[in-house]
Amino acid sequence: MELFTKAKAMVFPREVLAGHHVLDKVGEMCRRFGFGGSGVLVTGPTTGPIAAKQVTDVLTGTGYEIHIIELGPATRENVDKTKALVKEVQAHFILGVGGGSKIDIAKLAAKETELPFLSVPTSAAHDGIASPSASIIDDKVPHSVEAVMPMGILADTHIIAKSPYRLLASGCADVISNLTAIRDWELAVRLKNEEFSTTAYTLSKISATTILQSAPMIKPMVEESAWIAIKPIVSSGISMSIAGSSRPTSGSEHMFSHALNRLAPGKALHGEMCGVGTIMMMYLHGGNWEEIRDALKLMKAPVTVHELGVTNTDIIRALCQAHTIRPERYTILGDNGMTPEAAENLAKLTGVL
Ligand SMILES: [Zn+2]
Protein backbone atom coordinates (compact mmCIF):
# COMPACT_ATOMS: atom_id res chain seq x y z
CA MET A 1 0.00 0.00 0.00
CA GLU A 2 1.19 3.51 -0.83
CA LEU A 3 2.10 5.68 2.14
CA PHE A 4 -0.26 8.53 2.93
CA THR A 5 1.59 11.82 2.41
CA LYS A 6 -1.09 14.46 1.90
CA ALA A 7 -1.01 17.61 4.05
CA LYS A 8 -2.79 20.90 3.75
CA ALA A 9 -3.02 24.21 5.61
CA MET A 10 -6.03 26.52 5.64
CA VAL A 11 -5.94 29.96 7.21
CA PHE A 12 -9.17 31.77 8.03
CA PRO A 13 -9.98 35.12 9.61
CA ARG A 14 -10.52 34.69 13.35
CA GLU A 15 -13.30 37.28 13.56
CA VAL A 16 -15.45 38.95 10.94
CA LEU A 17 -17.56 41.88 12.12
CA ALA A 18 -19.94 43.22 9.51
CA GLY A 19 -22.77 45.71 9.89
CA HIS A 20 -23.80 49.09 11.18
CA HIS A 21 -21.13 50.96 13.21
CA VAL A 22 -18.92 47.90 13.79
CA LEU A 23 -15.84 50.17 13.76
CA ASP A 24 -16.68 51.04 17.36
CA LYS A 25 -15.70 47.45 18.20
CA VAL A 26 -12.13 47.60 16.86
CA GLY A 27 -10.62 48.20 20.31
CA GLU A 28 -12.38 45.20 21.82
CA MET A 29 -11.30 43.07 18.87
CA CYS A 30 -7.63 44.02 19.31
CA ARG A 31 -7.91 43.27 23.05
CA ARG A 32 -9.42 39.83 22.35
CA PHE A 33 -6.57 39.12 19.94
CA GLY A 34 -4.14 40.09 22.69
CA PHE A 35 -2.34 42.64 20.53
CA GLY A 36 0.52 44.64 22.07
CA GLY A 37 0.25 48.39 22.47
CA SER A 38 1.52 49.77 19.15
CA GLY A 39 -0.18 49.58 15.76
CA VAL A 40 0.49 50.93 12.26
CA LEU A 41 -2.55 52.08 10.33
CA VAL A 42 -2.25 52.25 6.52
CA THR A 43 -4.71 54.57 4.83
CA GLY A 44 -4.98 56.95 1.88
CA PRO A 45 -5.60 60.64 1.31
CA THR A 46 -8.92 60.19 -0.48
CA THR A 47 -10.35 56.91 0.78
CA GLY A 48 -10.45 56.32 4.43
CA PRO A 49 -9.62 59.48 6.40
CA ILE A 50 -12.98 59.44 8.19
CA ALA A 51 -12.80 55.73 8.97
CA ALA A 52 -9.09 56.01 9.82
CA LYS A 53 -9.82 58.78 12.34
CA GLN A 54 -12.65 56.78 13.85
CA VAL A 55 -10.51 53.64 14.17
CA THR A 56 -7.63 55.67 15.67
CA ASP A 57 -9.96 57.36 18.19
CA VAL A 58 -11.46 54.04 19.31
CA LEU A 59 -8.04 52.37 19.60
CA THR A 60 -6.47 55.32 21.42
CA GLY A 61 -9.42 55.22 23.82
CA THR A 62 -8.68 51.52 24.44
CA GLY A 63 -5.05 52.31 25.29
CA TYR A 64 -3.33 51.66 21.95
CA GLU A 65 -0.78 53.90 20.30
CA ILE A 66 -1.62 54.20 16.59
CA HIS A 67 0.81 55.42 13.93
CA ILE A 68 -0.93 56.51 10.74
CA ILE A 69 0.77 56.25 7.36
CA GLU A 70 -0.97 57.85 4.38
CA LEU A 71 -0.06 56.18 1.11
CA GLY A 72 -1.05 56.07 -2.56
CA PRO A 73 -1.27 52.99 -4.79
CA ALA A 74 -0.23 49.46 -3.78
CA THR A 75 3.37 49.62 -5.01
CA ARG A 76 6.46 47.82 -3.73
CA GLU A 77 7.78 51.19 -2.54
CA ASN A 78 4.70 51.80 -0.38
CA VAL A 79 4.92 48.31 1.13
CA ASP A 80 8.55 49.07 2.06
CA LYS A 81 7.57 52.45 3.57
CA THR A 82 5.03 50.65 5.75
CA LYS A 83 7.61 48.09 6.84
CA ALA A 84 10.03 50.89 7.74
CA LEU A 85 7.42 52.54 9.97
CA VAL A 86 6.54 49.17 11.57
CA LYS A 87 10.21 48.75 12.49
CA GLU A 88 10.62 52.34 13.69
CA VAL A 89 7.65 52.28 16.08
CA GLN A 90 8.07 48.57 16.92
CA ALA A 91 4.47 47.89 15.97
CA HIS A 92 2.64 44.77 17.14
CA PHE A 93 -0.06 44.82 14.46
CA ILE A 94 -1.06 46.46 11.18
CA LEU A 95 -4.40 47.83 10.04
CA GLY A 96 -5.40 48.48 6.44
CA VAL A 97 -8.14 51.11 6.30
CA GLY A 98 -9.45 52.09 2.88
CA GLY A 99 -10.26 50.66 -0.53
CA GLY A 100 -8.44 47.68 -1.98
CA SER A 101 -4.97 49.18 -2.37
CA LYS A 102 -4.48 50.18 1.29
CA ILE A 103 -5.59 46.73 2.39
CA ASP A 104 -3.21 45.16 -0.14
CA ILE A 105 -0.28 47.25 1.19
CA ALA A 106 -1.11 46.31 4.79
CA LYS A 107 -1.59 42.65 3.85
CA LEU A 108 1.81 42.29 2.21
CA ALA A 109 3.61 44.36 4.86
CA ALA A 110 2.01 42.07 7.48
CA LYS A 111 3.27 38.97 5.71
CA GLU A 112 6.81 40.31 5.38
CA THR A 113 7.01 41.53 8.99
CA GLU A 114 5.15 38.45 10.32
CA LEU A 115 2.66 40.63 12.16
CA PRO A 116 -1.11 40.13 12.40
CA PHE A 117 -3.27 42.43 10.34
CA LEU A 118 -6.83 43.73 10.36
CA SER A 119 -8.75 44.54 7.20
CA VAL A 120 -11.04 47.57 7.51
CA PRO A 121 -12.63 48.13 4.08
CA THR A 122 -14.25 51.51 3.44
CA SER A 123 -15.63 50.23 0.15
CA ALA A 124 -16.31 46.77 -1.24
CA ALA A 125 -15.01 47.01 -4.81
CA HIS A 126 -13.60 43.45 -5.00
CA ASP A 127 -13.10 40.27 -3.01
CA GLY A 128 -9.55 41.20 -1.90
CA ILE A 129 -10.85 42.65 1.38
CA ALA A 130 -11.08 39.12 2.74
CA SER A 131 -8.57 37.10 0.73
CA PRO A 132 -5.04 35.85 1.34
CA SER A 133 -3.62 37.37 -1.85
CA ALA A 134 -2.67 40.97 -2.63
CA SER A 135 -2.49 42.87 -5.89
CA ILE A 136 0.79 44.80 -6.02
CA ILE A 137 1.84 47.11 -8.85
CA ASP A 138 5.27 46.26 -10.23
CA ASP A 139 6.50 48.13 -13.32
CA LYS A 140 3.04 49.69 -13.69
CA VAL A 141 1.45 46.23 -14.02
CA PRO A 142 -0.58 44.74 -11.12
CA HIS A 143 0.61 41.31 -9.95
CA SER A 144 -1.20 38.96 -7.65
CA VAL A 145 1.08 37.87 -4.78
CA GLU A 146 0.65 35.51 -1.84
CA ALA A 147 0.14 37.54 1.33
CA VAL A 148 -1.77 36.68 4.52
CA MET A 149 -5.41 36.32 5.44
CA PRO A 150 -6.54 39.16 7.75
CA MET A 151 -6.84 38.01 11.35
CA GLY A 152 -9.89 40.23 11.71
CA ILE A 153 -12.22 41.93 9.24
CA LEU A 154 -14.35 44.93 10.20
CA ALA A 155 -16.76 45.84 7.44
CA ASP A 156 -18.84 48.81 8.57
CA THR A 157 -21.90 48.99 6.31
CA HIS A 158 -22.52 52.61 7.37
CA ILE A 159 -19.14 53.58 5.90
CA ILE A 160 -19.27 51.26 2.87
CA ALA A 161 -22.71 52.63 1.93
CA LYS A 162 -21.21 56.13 1.78
CA SER A 163 -18.51 55.15 -0.74
CA PRO A 164 -19.36 55.64 -4.44
CA TYR A 165 -22.02 53.09 -5.42
CA ARG A 166 -19.99 52.09 -8.48
CA LEU A 167 -17.47 50.41 -6.15
CA LEU A 168 -20.09 48.21 -4.50
CA ALA A 169 -21.58 47.18 -7.85
CA SER A 170 -18.06 46.27 -8.99
CA GLY A 171 -17.49 44.14 -5.87
CA CYS A 172 -20.77 42.32 -6.52
CA ALA A 173 -19.78 41.68 -10.15
CA ASP A 174 -16.44 40.29 -8.91
CA VAL A 175 -18.34 37.73 -6.80
CA ILE A 176 -20.77 36.88 -9.65
CA SER A 177 -17.69 36.04 -11.72
CA ASN A 178 -17.21 32.96 -9.51
CA LEU A 179 -19.90 31.32 -11.65
CA THR A 180 -17.58 30.99 -14.65
CA ALA A 181 -14.46 30.51 -12.51
CA ILE A 182 -15.95 27.31 -11.04
CA ARG A 183 -16.98 26.07 -14.50
CA ASP A 184 -13.39 26.56 -15.65
CA TRP A 185 -12.27 24.66 -12.56
CA GLU A 186 -14.57 21.73 -13.37
CA LEU A 187 -13.18 21.66 -16.89
CA ALA A 188 -9.60 21.62 -15.57
CA VAL A 189 -10.50 18.74 -13.25
CA ARG A 190 -11.85 16.71 -16.18
CA LEU A 191 -9.14 17.59 -18.68
CA LYS A 192 -6.06 18.09 -16.51
CA ASN A 193 -6.93 16.11 -13.39
CA GLU A 194 -6.52 19.29 -11.37
CA GLU A 195 -6.99 19.18 -7.62
CA PHE A 196 -10.54 19.89 -6.52
CA SER A 197 -12.30 20.89 -3.32
CA THR A 198 -16.04 20.39 -3.08
CA THR A 199 -16.22 22.72 -0.07
CA ALA A 200 -14.42 25.57 -1.84
CA TYR A 201 -16.48 24.99 -4.99
CA THR A 202 -19.77 25.03 -3.10
CA LEU A 203 -18.89 28.09 -1.02
CA SER A 204 -17.78 30.03 -4.09
CA LYS A 205 -20.98 29.07 -5.92
CA ILE A 206 -23.25 29.99 -3.01
CA SER A 207 -21.50 33.36 -2.67
CA ALA A 208 -22.15 34.13 -6.34
CA THR A 209 -25.75 32.91 -6.43
CA THR A 210 -26.57 34.90 -3.28
CA ILE A 211 -25.53 38.09 -5.09
CA LEU A 212 -27.25 37.01 -8.29
CA GLN A 213 -30.53 36.43 -6.49
CA SER A 214 -30.21 39.60 -4.43
CA ALA A 215 -29.50 41.80 -7.48
CA PRO A 216 -32.87 43.64 -7.33
CA MET A 217 -32.07 44.72 -3.76
CA ILE A 218 -28.58 46.05 -4.53
CA LYS A 219 -29.03 49.78 -5.07
CA PRO A 220 -27.24 53.09 -4.52
CA MET A 221 -27.60 54.91 -1.20
CA VAL A 222 -29.07 51.93 0.65
CA GLU A 223 -27.00 50.61 3.56
CA GLU A 224 -28.70 47.24 3.29
CA SER A 225 -27.08 46.78 -0.17
CA ALA A 226 -23.67 46.84 1.49
CA TRP A 227 -24.95 44.38 4.09
CA ILE A 228 -26.20 41.95 1.41
CA ALA A 229 -22.95 42.22 -0.55
CA ILE A 230 -20.39 42.01 2.22
CA LYS A 231 -21.08 38.47 3.42
CA PRO A 232 -20.72 36.82 -0.01
CA ILE A 233 -17.59 38.92 -0.62
CA VAL A 234 -16.09 37.54 2.60
CA SER A 235 -17.17 33.95 1.89
CA SER A 236 -15.67 34.21 -1.60
CA GLY A 237 -12.34 35.09 0.01
CA ILE A 238 -12.70 32.14 2.37
CA SER A 239 -13.30 29.76 -0.55
CA MET A 240 -9.80 30.74 -1.76
CA SER A 241 -8.35 29.81 1.62
CA ILE A 242 -10.05 26.41 1.50
CA ALA A 243 -8.84 25.71 -2.04
CA GLY A 244 -5.37 27.05 -1.29
CA SER A 245 -5.51 29.17 -4.46
CA SER A 246 -7.72 31.69 -6.22
CA ARG A 247 -9.09 28.89 -8.46
CA PRO A 248 -12.69 29.04 -7.09
CA THR A 249 -12.96 32.77 -7.77
CA SER A 250 -10.76 33.46 -10.78
CA GLY A 251 -10.97 31.84 -14.22
CA SER A 252 -11.26 32.90 -17.86
CA GLU A 253 -13.35 35.98 -16.96
CA HIS A 254 -10.52 37.23 -14.70
CA MET A 255 -7.97 36.60 -17.45
CA PHE A 256 -10.12 38.68 -19.79
CA SER A 257 -10.31 41.41 -17.14
CA HIS A 258 -6.52 41.43 -16.65
CA ALA A 259 -5.90 41.45 -20.42
CA LEU A 260 -8.33 44.35 -20.85
CA ASN A 261 -6.73 46.25 -18.00
CA ARG A 262 -3.36 46.00 -19.76
CA LEU A 263 -4.82 47.27 -23.04
CA ALA A 264 -6.92 50.04 -21.51
CA PRO A 265 -5.46 50.73 -18.05
CA GLY A 266 -7.63 52.54 -15.55
CA LYS A 267 -10.73 52.74 -17.76
CA ALA A 268 -12.90 50.37 -15.74
CA LEU A 269 -12.80 48.77 -12.30
CA HIS A 270 -11.55 45.21 -11.82
CA GLY A 271 -14.99 43.81 -10.88
CA GLU A 272 -16.69 45.69 -13.72
CA MET A 273 -14.42 44.07 -16.30
CA CYS A 274 -14.82 40.66 -14.62
CA GLY A 275 -18.61 41.04 -14.82
CA VAL A 276 -18.54 41.64 -18.58
CA GLY A 277 -16.04 38.77 -18.89
CA THR A 278 -18.45 36.50 -17.01
CA ILE A 279 -21.27 37.21 -19.47
CA MET A 280 -19.05 36.19 -22.40
CA MET A 281 -17.33 33.22 -20.76
CA MET A 282 -20.69 31.85 -19.61
CA TYR A 283 -21.80 31.98 -23.24
CA LEU A 284 -18.73 29.90 -24.18
CA HIS A 285 -19.56 27.44 -21.40
CA GLY A 286 -23.09 27.10 -22.77
CA GLY A 287 -24.59 28.36 -19.50
CA ASN A 288 -27.25 30.94 -18.70
CA TRP A 289 -25.35 34.11 -19.65
CA GLU A 290 -28.55 36.17 -19.97
CA GLU A 291 -29.24 35.66 -16.27
CA ILE A 292 -25.81 37.09 -15.43
CA ARG A 293 -26.24 40.05 -17.79
CA ASP A 294 -29.68 40.83 -16.33
CA ALA A 295 -28.40 40.72 -12.74
CA LEU A 296 -25.49 43.03 -13.59
CA LYS A 297 -27.90 45.41 -15.35
CA LEU A 298 -30.17 45.48 -12.30
CA MET A 299 -27.21 46.41 -10.10
CA LYS A 300 -26.15 49.07 -12.64
CA ALA A 301 -22.83 47.34 -13.32
CA PRO A 302 -21.49 47.65 -16.89
CA VAL A 303 -22.61 45.09 -19.50
CA THR A 304 -21.43 46.77 -22.72
CA VAL A 305 -18.26 48.19 -24.25
CA HIS A 306 -19.62 51.75 -23.87
CA GLU A 307 -20.43 51.27 -20.21
CA LEU A 308 -16.89 49.98 -19.65
CA GLY A 309 -15.47 53.04 -21.42
CA VAL A 310 -13.15 51.00 -23.66
CA THR A 311 -13.11 50.46 -27.45
CA ASN A 312 -14.39 47.55 -29.56
CA THR A 313 -10.79 46.74 -30.49
CA ASP A 314 -9.81 46.60 -26.80
CA ILE A 315 -12.54 44.01 -26.14
CA ILE A 316 -11.61 41.82 -29.11
CA ARG A 317 -7.88 42.00 -28.35
CA ALA A 318 -8.49 41.25 -24.68
CA LEU A 319 -10.54 38.17 -25.62
CA CYS A 320 -7.75 36.98 -27.93
CA GLN A 321 -4.98 37.61 -25.36
CA ALA A 322 -6.81 36.37 -22.25
CA HIS A 323 -5.47 32.78 -22.44
CA THR A 324 -1.86 34.08 -22.25
CA ILE A 325 -2.39 35.86 -18.92
CA ARG A 326 -2.06 32.78 -16.77
CA PRO A 327 -1.20 29.87 -19.05
CA GLU A 328 -0.94 27.31 -16.23
CA ARG A 329 -4.58 27.94 -15.25
CA TYR A 330 -6.65 25.89 -17.68
CA THR A 331 -9.99 27.45 -18.70
CA ILE A 332 -12.64 27.35 -21.43
CA LEU A 333 -10.23 29.44 -23.54
CA GLY A 334 -7.98 26.40 -23.89
CA ASP A 335 -4.29 26.58 -24.72
CA ASN A 336 -4.65 28.60 -27.92
CA GLY A 337 -7.40 31.08 -27.05
CA MET A 338 -9.82 32.72 -29.44
CA THR A 339 -9.45 33.94 -33.02
CA PRO A 340 -10.34 37.61 -33.64
CA GLU A 341 -13.40 36.56 -35.69
CA ALA A 342 -14.69 34.27 -32.95
CA ALA A 343 -14.00 36.96 -30.36
CA GLU A 344 -15.98 39.53 -32.31
CA ASN A 345 -18.87 37.09 -32.77
CA LEU A 346 -18.90 36.31 -29.06
CA ALA A 347 -18.92 39.98 -28.04
CA LYS A 348 -21.70 40.74 -30.54
CA LEU A 349 -23.85 37.72 -29.63
CA THR A 350 -23.79 38.66 -25.95
CA GLY A 351 -24.54 42.33 -26.67
CA VAL A 352 -21.20 43.53 -25.28
CA LEU A 353 -20.41 45.11 -28.68
ZN1 LIG B 1 -11.52 39.50 -8.76
pLDDT per residue as tens digits for the range 308-343: 999 999 999 999 999 999 999 999 999 999 999 999
Residue range 145-192, pLDDT digits in tens:
888 999 999 999 999 999 999 999 999 999 999 999 999 999 999 999
The confidence score (pLDDT) of residue 240 equals 93
* Strand boundaries in the chain, DSSP class E: 15-19, 38-43, 65-70, 93-98, 117-121, 133-138, 141-146, 152-156
β 141-146/133-138 pair status: antiparallel
The confidence score (pLDDT) of residue 87 equals 98
The confidence score (pLDDT) of residue 47 equals 67
The confidence score (pLDDT) of residue 302 equals 98
Mean pLDDT (10-residue bins), the chain, 353 residues: 87 95 97 97 85 96 97 95 98 95 95 97 90 85 86 96 95 97 98 97 98 96 94 94 94 97 94 98 98 98 98 98 95 97 98 98
Residues in the 5 Å CB sphere of ion ligand 1: 174
- Nearest-angstrom CA–CA distance, 52 and 298: 32
Residues 6+ apart with CB under 8 A from 1: none
The confidence score (pLDDT) of residue 144 equals 84
* Cα–ligand 1 centroid distance for 208 (angstroms): 12
Q: Are 321 and 343 in contact (CB under 8 A)?
A: no
* Cα–ligand 1 centroid distance for 43 (angstroms): 21
* Cα–ligand 1 centroid distance for 71 (angstroms): 23
* Cα–ligand 1 centroid distance for 178 (angstroms): 9
Half-sphere exposure of 11 (CA within 13 A, CB side): 14
